[in-house]
Structure 1
Amino acid sequence: MDCSSPIGIFDSGIGGLTVVKAVQNALPNEDIIYFGDTARVPYGIKSEHTIRSYALQITEFLMDRDVKMILIACNTVSASARDGIQKATGDIPVLDVITAGSKAAMQFPHHKHIGVIGTLATIGSKAYEEAIRQYNGEVEITAEACPMLVPLAEEGWTDNEIAEQIVKKYLQKFEGSDIDSLILGCTHYPLFTNTIRKVLHDPDIEIVDSALSIASMAKKKLGDLQLLNDEQSGNFNCYVSDRPQRFRELAERFLGQDIPNVHIAQLQQ
């Protein structure tokens, strides 16, 4: 592991590309290896045991490619498997989107009421509540699971009438709640930012995107470890467990760049 080693990023599907995009902007010289577990998405409806098993398989896959850092770009994995991943990686630093998102939300000290949306597994774990209250034990938190948003994102349906109606249904819980900020507790959800803003009808509500925060944390951590890549490279290698062509179509539309190769990787079961 040295400065030229890649950063490993993984998610259950395409949502983690929000983290890839943020890291590419913050760290343009860094090589990135991304893994999207498209054969087994969505994670949010699966048990913690199953999620941990999947996450450790992907972690091993990334470690075999000599990554210098792993970013867990999946809130469900962050909630269920972060400790196990950190134990498995040894000296390789591991950052996760729940820690990043919670820290970002607490940058607004005048905010007294924070909303969180996420998958069933993430919301059920109460991981955001626990992380936020490490910074402020008195803040009010309202959370809501939005399980249908992940498959909608995987189909590219993020900014149409169907998406708007479903988002409106989920966000009913926040009507009249006077939330100051809303954490997008799934890396698929930034794809719905425009729809969410339209449904909320309140421009003063701060939308917290943990992808931007985790990219900033990665830059600082690599700098502290003297592992920043100073040479121009910025290669992006993408692996999925199924449907590479479909993934490539969605990924190119979202990232706004060509992805010459999306490789299939068979994980050891």
Structure 2
Amino acid sequence: MNKEAPIGIFDSGIGGLTVVKEVRRALPNENIIYFGDTARVPYGIKSEKVVRNYALQITNFLMQRNVKMILIACNTVSASARDEIQEAAGDIPVLDVISAGTKAAMAWPEHDHIGVIGTLATIGSEAYNRAIREYNGGVKITSKACPMLVPLAEEGWTDNDIARQIVHRYLASFEDQNIDSLILGCTHYPLFKETIQQELYRRKIRIVDSGESIAKMAREELARRQLLNPSGGTFECYVSDRPQRFQELAERFLGTEIPNVQIIQL
């Protein structure tokens, strides 16, 4: 496989760009292709069959672009279609945010009680619960759906009084739970990391960012396969609808300009 081949990253919309940001930080020489399925977002309200179909279409697109690795930056897809994507990808390694976040949480020396926050769909799927219990069936898990955080993130309201009040309200569920770590189970949530840290600062609770975790896993896997790119760093961005609005939000998420967002039909 070609070392200079790109890493393919995809999500149902814009949230996966927090994963892109961490991958670019951990692997600055890697070429990246990102696809956001903005025409069909959100995935969380759709059936697993439909989500799998969408995910396989995106996988096929990325494979046509000759990617050397695929990162599933969508919790809904990670929960419902990872095995099918891996089968379709063949020899191309596939990593997902749920596995990455779980592995990071379980690597922490103290992991008797893990908290998870996510969208209604992700929490309802209990995907993190299953992944954590594959490591250790005795771990206590407390989950909380935080649906308001996604629209706040897309409005850019991540560090104002409204955001702080809503984060406080959601995290109050963990006040007496004595959790050891808190998994941010949605790719929008790292945008609230500073606000969440301020809310939890009195307690020794580790925040697990699945974007950081999957970037670390990607670096380790590419190194193991001797596929690290010595010189690169390009970024291509594709969406299925509304590239102008996406570009505005994407630049907010990444903290940098994106020269061109291309629209394609799958």
Q: Give the TM-score, by structure 2 length.
A: 0.94
**Aligned residue identity for 1:238:** C
> 1:1-56, CA deviations, whole angstroms, 9 ceiling, x for partnerless residues?
41111000011222111111111111111100001112222222322222212211
1:48-127 alignment to 2 at 5 Å?
A: 48-127=48-127
- What's 2:260 paired with? 261
Structure 1 stretch displaced more, 88-97 or 143-152: 143-152
> 1:114-161, CA deviations, whole angstroms, 9 ceiling, x for partnerless residues?
100112221122111111122222111001122222222222222222
Q: Distance in 2 between matches of 1:3 and 1:41?
A: 32
**Aligned residue identity for 1:174:** F
- What's 1:236 paired with? 235
C-alpha displacement of 1:201 = 5.0
The size of the alignment, in residue pairs, is: 266
**Aligned residue identity for 1:198:** Q
C-alpha displacement of 1:253 = 2.4
**Aligned residue identity for 2:255:** G
- What's 2:140 paired with? 140
SS of 1:109's equivalent in the other structure is: coil
CA RMSD across the alignment: 1.5
SS of 2:107's equivalent in the other structure is: coil
- What's 2:166 paired with? 166
> 1:174-224, CA deviations, whole angstroms, 9 ceiling, x for partnerless residues?
121111110000111101112222334535111100111111111111112
Is the CA contact (8 Å cut-off) linking 1:42 and 1:150 kept in structure 2?
Answer: no
Q: Distance in 1 between matches of 2:113 and 2:29?
A: 38
Structure 1 stretch displaced more, 248-257 or 134-143: 248-257
Q: Distance in 1 between matches of 2:238 and 2:62?
A: 10
Gaps of 5+ in 1: none
Q: Distance in 2 between matches of 1:203 and 1:46?
A: 37
Q: Distance in 2 between matches of 1:95 and 1:214?
A: 7
Structure 1 stretch displaced more, 12-21 or 90-99: 12-21
Is the CA contact (8 Å cut-off) linking 2:156 and 2:252 kept in structure 1?
Answer: no
Gaps of 5+ in 2: none
Is the CA contact (8 Å cut-off) linking 2:13 and 2:41 kept in structure 1?
Answer: yes
Q: Distance in 2 between matches of 1:165 and 1:257?
A: 28
Is the CA contact (8 Å cut-off) linking 1:82 and 1:96 kept in structure 2?
Answer: yes
